[in-house]
Structure 1
Amino acid sequence: MRTHKILALAAVSAAIVASPAYAEKGDVLVRVRAIVVSPTERSSAVTPGFPGSKLGVSDAVMPEIDFTYMATKHIGAELILATTEHKIEGRGTLSGVPKIAKTWVLPPTLTLQYHFLPDTKIRPYVGAGVNYTIFYASKADSDLVRAVGPTNVHLSNSFGYVLQAGTDIDITKKVFLNLDIKYVGLKTNARLNTGGAINTARVDIDPLIFGIGLGFKL
């Protein structure tokens, strides 16, 4: 009897090990996440007009969608699409101007992922890739306009690297929970033109992006 139990357990274990991967070569996975973009910024002074000043960048919460193409059951390529709005804040000697500007950010991102346990219900992965960030609709805030007058704001676009880690957790055969975190190397040069008086600052935004959402196997 004991031998039969051992054989039955071995058969179940073999079936689990031999079960097909959740995603095979050629499959496409779609994830819809809510993300929190949290800059870990560092800033130079806004010069030459504001020595001792710094610029900060606010957090943002937005939806995100991404598409993953599985080249094998272990290797996937993920394209991430989202756009977020951020406030640029005055700090240091500019702390009396709490809001400098507003800007929208479009950061298309491509990562190459390795999925560790494709045959299990909990599937962790890591990834690395590239990001190109486009700043658009940048506009001086009323706080800055009241302090120094009408100002044109320009933020340079950025090309950088991305590091990623996350996990997929089965809910059904085609739906899964996704948890994800990314670090993006993102830098920009801010240019403030107030009636021909030019002030500039370099800001290393370098955000952490925390995501949670649902994924679907197409």
Structure 2
Amino acid sequence: MRKITLLAAALAATAFTTPAMAGSPDGRFQVKVLGTAVLPDGGIDKVKSIDSGLATTLTGMGVTDVDARANDNVVPTLAVEYFFTKAVSVETICCFTQHHVGGAADLAGTRLVDHVLILPATVTAKYHLDTGTPIKPYVGAGPALFFVFDEKPGATAQALGVDKVKMSNSFGAVLQAGVDIALGQSGYGVTLDAKKYFIKPTASFYADGAKVLETKHDLDPWVLSAGLSYRF
């Protein structure tokens, strides 16, 4: 992933700062700088295990329906794309997004996990429709691997005795659709993109080294992007 990040940065720098790399709407490479809204679900798919003491505490609080919700975020994104033909390409993206997970249902208003930093490693194969105009819609699909860093127990979890939380890295899939719009023959353009991820990470909560709760989550974010592109 470090190599992919460095490659993306190098290609972006080359595309936007080197006059010798002549832009073209039919070039092999395309670099995109995007603003991206990450809209996750985060609901609990299932409670895989729960410590009897914690279960008793929650029941005593009147909690019978345990659920969760992850907050939305807006982040910058870099995308790098290579065209094998006019119709077929492959694309990867580079970004970090940070979230927290709060309670829902009977736990509404509580904080369960703070500062969840996610690197969504994504590669999609894309098919572009040639409309005979500068407007070219596309669809895509591919694998995704979410790397999770630096998660911490939220205030409510800490109040229940939790001193450590770990969310698993997760492998899943992504569907993609969007449109590229060329601005003349310079290689510059604008792009609109929508991705739907299908990712189910597991969250493990610990108290004094013992696992007291394990939950599986429907993270499944919508990722909506808009920005500028350069093709060369």
What interval of TM-score do these two structures reach, taking the shorter chain for normalisation?
A: 0.7 to 0.9
Q: CA deviation at 1:47?
A: 4.7
- Give the aligned length: 195
* TM-score, normalising length: structure 2: 0.78
The aligned residue for residue 162 of structure 1 is 174
Q: Deviations over 1:2-35 (max 9, x none)?
A: xxxxxxxxxxxxxxxxxxx8225xx100001111
Out of 91, 94, 97, the position equivalent to 2:104 is: 91
Pick closer, same or farther for the CA change 1:160–1:197 going to 2, 3 Å: closer
- How far apart, CA to CA, are the structure 2 residues paired with 1:113 and 1:165? 9
Is 1:64 matched up with 2:67?
Answer: no
Q: Would you say the 8 A contact 1:190–1:203 is kept in 2? A: yes
Q: Deviations over 1:69-120 (max 9, x none)?
A: 0001111000111110011111223225235332000111000001111752
- How far apart, CA to CA, are the structure 1 residues paired with 2:211 and 2:91? 43
The aligned residue for residue 118 of structure 2 is 105
* TM-score, normalising length: structure 1: 0.82
Structure 2, unaligned runs of 5 or more: 1-23, 59-63
Q: CA deviation at 1:46?
A: 7.7
- How far apart, CA to CA, are the structure 2 residues paired with 1:139 and 1:182? 27
Is 1:207 matched up with 2:208?
Answer: no
- How far apart, CA to CA, are the structure 2 residues paired with 1:181 and 1:72? 22
- How far apart, CA to CA, are the structure 2 residues paired with 1:60 and 1:119? 36
Out of 60, 68, 75, the position equivalent to 1:55 is: 68
Q: CA deviation at 1:42?
A: 3.1
The aligned residue for residue 22 of structure 1 is 25
Describe the SS at the equivalent of 2:34. strand
The aligned residue for residue 195 of structure 2 is 182
Q: Would you say the 8 A contact 2:119–2:148 is kept in 1? A: yes
Q: Deviations over 1:145-203 (max 9, x none)?
A: 2x223520101111111100000112242110100000011111110102225111110
Return structure 1 stretches of 4+ with deviation > 3 angstroms.
Answer: none
Pick closer, same or farther for the CA change 1:105–1:144 going to 2, 3 Å: same
Q: After alignment, is 35-44 or 127-136 more displaced?
A: 35-44
Identity %: 29
RMSD (Å), alpha carbons = 1.9
Q: CA deviation at 1:55?
A: 1.7
Describe the SS at the equivalent of 2:111. coil
Describe the SS at the equivalent of 1:214. strand
Structure 1, unaligned runs of 5 or more: 1-20
Q: CA deviation at 1:140?
A: 1.3
